[in-house]
Each structure stands twice: as structure tokens, then as C-alpha cells.
Structure 1
Amino acid sequence: MQCGWPLLGPLQWIRYVNKLVKVKAGKDEEHRGWLLTVDPVSASLVLVNFGEGEGASVQVVMGHAVEEVEVLQEANEEITDRLQASFLPPRNRTRLDPEELRRRRGGVRRWLEKNRVPVEEEGGELRVAGVLTIEAPYGPDDCRSSNQIILDRIQKLIHIQPDHPDSDPDRPC
């Protein structure tokens, strides 16, 4: 890559994402890692290096200091998945049998209906008022919505649900 990294812009930077890169920055500085993203304002690079197990280290190289970026390797599917999952919250990794999932889905649905919240089942998900989705295993962290107010209220409601594995009876409403 030529000089002027900050001047390239997002359409050029995207070509480097999910690739192992070598970045020359400043006086005799060199950084290597998988390019996760580039900040569109500062042109700073976010590099990820995977350690033993599931650990990862993150390094930010400031865009104004970048002199050269060289692609060393393309990412395979496994590396791409690891990069995408690096900053996602940890999911409940325990596997629940279909009967337990059905029981939880039904319990959450009944609880929401009891609290006069419109809810319907769509496959294995619950759909609330057409704007929120609750996925398995049907806890507060399994709710998805672009409406933050509804998301917060439904999460709190599920959290105080009696007999729900994620409920906290001592938590104030």
C-alpha cells in the first residue's frame, strides 16, 4: 500500500479487513495482526491477535502514524468467525434440550400475556408487538429490538418473571 493511509477512505480500507496485515507506523515501528476494522474518522486500525485458547489481544494503531499497510494472509472461515465474535457478549453456551426450550418459551409467553404484552410465536422465537424478538433460551439477554425503550421494559419484565432461570426475586422493579 502506498503512503497516505488516511486519505484512502473506507472503500479502500474495507479491502484490508479480515486479513493478516503488517503495519509500518512511525520510526521503525511495525505491528502485525488481523485487521478487525478501521475507524472512519481517524483512520485508526484495530488489530487482533489470537492467543492460546479463546483469548485475544487488541491493538489500535493510530491512523495518522500509518506509513504502510501490507496484506500478509487472507482469513479463512474460522478466523473470520473468531474476529466477528471477538467483541460480542458471551452467549449461554449450555445446550438445552428441545423440551426445556419449549417450556421456557411457553413460560415467557404466558408471563408476557399475563402482563398484557402482545406476543406471538414465530418458529422458535417470540415476537413482541412486532418490534422485539426473543430468541432461545428466552432470557433478558436474548431480546433484540431497535426500540431501546421497549427492549429495556421487556428485559426487566422477563428478569422479574417468577420461576424463570434468569429472574432475581430480590431485584427491585
Structure 2
Amino acid sequence: MNSDGAQPLHTQPPSKLACFIGTYVSICTSNNSNYEGFVDAIDPYTGSIILSTLICGVPETKIVVGFSIRDITIKDPPPDRVHRVFISNEKSLDQTDIQSIKSKTHSWLLRNLLPVKEVDDKLHVHDGHVIISPPYKPENCTSSNSIVLGRIQHLLQNMPSDSMET
């Protein structure tokens, strides 16, 4: 239970937990350890929190187990910290690059006999069982079926960089 008399995190509704996502917090645990960082995710079932922070300039992720959390306080981040601790080294893509990647990905999936439809800026594979969002990489795939998702991601990982359109 939190020091202010509130219920433990895992008993809170997900809508209340969502207010912590992306904020800088200080967490005190039952063994009097303190952790600070940006909240990346909260498991609504256990109340466990995934924090991102910089330790000596190195990005670090820490999981604070829900049952050990005694208190959580939203704080202002230190001036040397940014919300996105893990900054991508990839160059930003312009619209023509994204369209080219989309077209190559679309043709690669068709060449592998998978039905693909373009819906807005997304590719829907097999009637929407897998949705691929820009910039059309394996990590941009979503699906409720983890087996199908894994197979599509594997296929995209093995796509030749010089994949030509059909």
C-alpha cells in the first residue's frame, strides 16, 4: 500500500495506471530501495513497472516488481535526462524512402505468396491478421497471433535489401 493510503498499483484500474506512462518517477520499495526513471510500461496485473534511465551515460532498463512497491511519486526529470533514453541511431527517412520501402515490402510479401492489402499507410497481411506500419521493419509488425507475427517478422528479416518489385 502506498504511504498516502492508496491501494497497491496492481489493484488500480488500467486507466489510472496509464497516467504514469512516459513520466519521470521515484519509486520506494518495501526494502527501502529507491529507483528513479521514466516509466515505459506497467503490468496491470502485477503492478510491476519498467523504468528507463541513464547510468553513467549508459541507457539502462530496470523492472521494479509490483508487490515490492511501497510508494511512487511523479517528479520533474533532472535537466540532463531526456524522455527517450534510447535514441535511435538510424537516419530519419523522408516520404519517398518510406514509399520505396513500402513498395519493396509489399512485393516481397506477394512473392512469398502472402495476400497483402494497402490500407492508408499500412500493409495488411492475410486480411489484417498482421499489420505492418511505417517504416515497414519487423519491429513495426503487430498481430494478436504471436505465431503468425513471428513468421512474418522472420520473413521481413530475410528480405533481400535489393528486393525488386513484381
For the aligned pair, the TM-score class normalised by the smaller chain equals: 0.5 to 0.7
Measured against aligned partners, the alpha-carbon deviations of 1:29-86 in whole angstroms (never above 9, x if no partner) come to: 4524247347744x6666654446562463636735x6x52636367xxx8954xx77
Tell me which residue corresponds to 2:12: 11
CA RMSD, 1 decimal = 4.1
Q: Is the Cα–Cα contact under 8 Å of residues 21 and 73 in structure 1 kept in the other structure?
A: yes
TM-score (norm 2): 0.61
| Residue equivalent to 2:62 | 58
How many aligned positions are there? 153
Structure-to-structure mapping, 1:92-171, within 5 angstroms: 93-129=90-126, 130-164=128-162
- Residue 136 of structure 1 aligns with an amino acid whose one-letter code is P
Q: Alignment partner of 1:58: what SS?
A: strand
Q: Deviations over 1:5-34 (max 9, x none)?
A: 8867522884994463352644xx452424
Residues 38 and 44 in structure 1, CA contact (< 8 A), matched pair in contact too: yes
| Alpha-carbon separation, structure 2, partners of 1:138 and 1:16 | 29
Higher helix share: 1
Which of the pair has more CA radius of gyration?
1
For residues 20 and 33 of structure 1, what CA distance do their matches in structure 2 show? 6
CA distance in 1, matches of 2:147, 2:157: 15
Amino acid at match of 1:99: T
Q: Work out whether 1:71 is the aligned partner of 2:73.
A: yes
User: For 1:44 and 1:142, how far apart are their aligned partners in 2?
Assistant: 25
Task: For structure 2, list consecutive stretches of 5 or more residues without a partner in the other structure.
Answer: none
TM (norm. structure 1) is 0.59
Calculate percent identity across the aligned residue pairs. Answer: 23
| Native 8 Å contact 2:138 2:156 kept in 1 | yes
